[in-house]
Amino acid sequence: MIERERLVLIGHPVAHSLSPIMQNAALDAAGIALRYEALDIEPKRLAETLEKLSSGSVAGNITIPHKRSALEMMRPISALAAAVGTVNTFWSDDNGHLAADNTDVAGFEFLTIETVGETPSNCRIAVLGAGGAAAAVLAAVSGWEGCTATVHGRTAESAAALSRRFSGFSIALAMSDAQLGEADIVVNATPVGLRDDSQPISIALIAPHAAVVDLAYGSFETAWVRAARENGHRASDGIPMLVRQGSLAFRRWFGVDADEEAMWAAILNATGRTRHRSGSPLAR
């Protein structure tokens, strides 16, 4: 097992994060005498913070709003992180550098499978947002057989820029485009709904058969997910993604598997939630 001196989450703000709860449960299950701590770091202090952390055997996660800027401050980075353009997981390597990877892509894929009951294929995916989270979604979709994606950004320029990076299977459209109603899976990759009951788009715009996947999460399910389920859609927020990306990060940090069941139990106990799984694959 790899030994670490410190384990941190870097973001701004971070008080809402459930990562400390689940990672500390994983640490306890593995018998590792460390605590996972959340550091609220403003953007202007990110470089200074990473520089200080690089002097020890540290590891951790990067979250909003630092995932993109941290990419330029860490080396080496994985090919996947470079392709996505963001990092969310880092650790001190043998050369005393902060290495980084992106476990959000695999986390999103797991979330989608939990929601729709299978790895999607020959599906139309509508992605709301054009930032780093949306890029992670498209990186996952690129590995799904026969799937295409529409990118619905807040601005035409941001959607077009992201779509060009994944031009083999995606196109950019307006947030209110009618093609939202043709999607088999609609993904919210914006921060809308993270801190209040705002919804990225009306559920009425989504086809009755479509699944709804929300990367946002909180102590309770997002309002968008609740509305979707009330209207008969298979739907999930970002908790399954949070757990899976955290589990993969744990392996990066320590070289051993995390106890995902312990992580799930800690999250569900802290929030009073239940775990939703779909047993109904997408109809085609």
Known catalytic residues are: 67
Strand arrangement of the beta sheet that strand 36-40 belongs to: 36-40, 6-11, 58-62, 89-92, 98-101
Closest CA to 105 of 76, 129, 85, 77: 85
Whether omega before 65 lies within 30 degrees of 0, making that bond cis, reads yes
**Helix (H), strand (E) at residue 217:** none
- Do 132 and 67 form a contact (C-beta atoms < 8 A)? yes
CB atoms within 10 A of CB 205: 16
Q: Where are the alpha helices (DSSP H) in the chain?
A: 19-30, 46-53, 79-84, 104-116, 132-141, 156-165, 223-230, 239-254, 260-271
Nearest 5°: the CA angle 68, 197, 214 is 50
Q: How far is CA 93 from CA 4, 37, 90, 209, in A?
A: 11, 20, 9, 46
Closest CA to 113 of 231, 277, 283, 270: 277
The structure tokens listed for 49 are 């913070």
